[in-house]
Amino acid sequence: MVLSELGLPAGGSYWFARFLVRRGLALLYLLAFLVAAFQFRPLAGEDGLRPLREYIERAEFRERPSLFYYVPSDRAIAVAAWAGVGLAALALVGAPAVVSAPFALPASMLLWFLLWALYQSFVNAGGVFYGYGWESMLLEVGFLAVFLGDPGTAAPGVVVWLLRWVLFRNMFGAGLIKLRGDDCWRELTCMDYHYETQPIPNPLSWYAHHLPDRFHRVETLGNHVVELAVPFLYFAPQPFAAIAGVATIAFQGWLMLTGNFSWLNALTIVLAFSTFSDGVLAGLAPVAAPATAAAPLPFVVLVLLVAALVLALSVRPALNTVSETQVMNTSYDPIHLVNTYGAFGSITRDRYEIVVQGTADETVGPDTEWRTYEFKGKPTDPDERPGQVAPYHLRLDWQLWFAAMAPTPRRSPWFPRFLRKLLEGDEATRSLLAHDPFPDGPPEHVRAVRYRYAFTSPAERSETGRWWSRERVGTYVRPISEGDLGSRRFGAGLR
Amino acid sequence: MFPGRDAPDMERFVQYILGGGIALVGGLWVLAGVGRGTPVWAGGLVAVLLGSLGLAVGIGTELAV
At B1, is the pLDDT very low, low, confident or very high (cuts 50, 70, 90)?
A: very low
pLDDT at A7 (0 to 100): 36
DSSP A22: H
| CA–CA distance, A336 with A123 (Å, rounded to integer) | 10
Least Cα distance to B27 among A167, B56, B19 occurs for B19
- Contacts across the A-B interface (CB distance below 8 Å): 78
Instruction: Check A3 against B31: CB less than 8 A apart.
Output: yes
Measured between CA atoms, how close is B30 to chain A, in angstroms? 9
The CB-based long-range contact list for B6-11 (8 Å cut-off, 24+ gap) reads B6/A319, B8/A319, B8/A320, B8/A322, B8/A323, B8/A324, B8/A325, B9/A323, B9/A324, B9/A325, B10/A322, B10/A323, B10/A324, B11/A180, B11/A324
Q: Compute the distance between CA of residue A403 and CA of residue A260 in angstroms, rounded to an integer.
A: 18
CA nearest A293: which of A101, A16, A52? A101
B-side interface with A, Cβ within 8 Å?
Answer: 2, 6, 8-11, 13-14, 17-18, 20-22, 24-25, 28-29, 31-33, 35-36, 55-56, 58-59, 62-65
Residue-range domain boundaries for chain A: 7-340, 351-493
SS3 A374: strand
Q: What is the ipTM of this complex?
A: 0.92
Side-chain-side CA neighbours of A375 within 13 Å: the count stands at 22
d(CA A354, CA A405): 9
Cβ A10–B33 below 8 Å, yes or no? yes
**DSSP letter (8 states) at residue A293:** B
d(CA A75, CA A47): 12
Residue B8's pLDDT is: 67
| pTM, to two decimals | 0.93
Q: Are A317 and A329 in contact (CB under 8 A)?
A: no
**Mean pLDDT, each 10-residue run in order, chain A (495 residues):** 38 86 98 98 97 95 96 98 98 88 91 98 97 97 97 93 98 97 96 97 98 97 98 97 98 98 97 95 84 92 98 96 92 95 92 98 94 97 97 98 96 95 96 96 97 98 97 96 72 49
Q: Which of A186, A319, A322 sits opposite B63 (nearest CB)?
A: A186
pLDDT of residue A494: 53
The maximal CA–CA distance of chain A, rounded, in angstroms, is: 82
Q: Do B25 and A320 touch (CB under 8 A)?
A: no
Max Cα–Cα distance, chain B, nearest Å: 44
Q: Where are the domains of chain B?
A: 12-60
Residue of B nearest to A8 (CA): B32
**Which residues, other chains included, contact A479 with Cβ-Cβ below 8 Å and sequence gap of 6+?**
A359, A364, A368, A445, A446, A447, A493
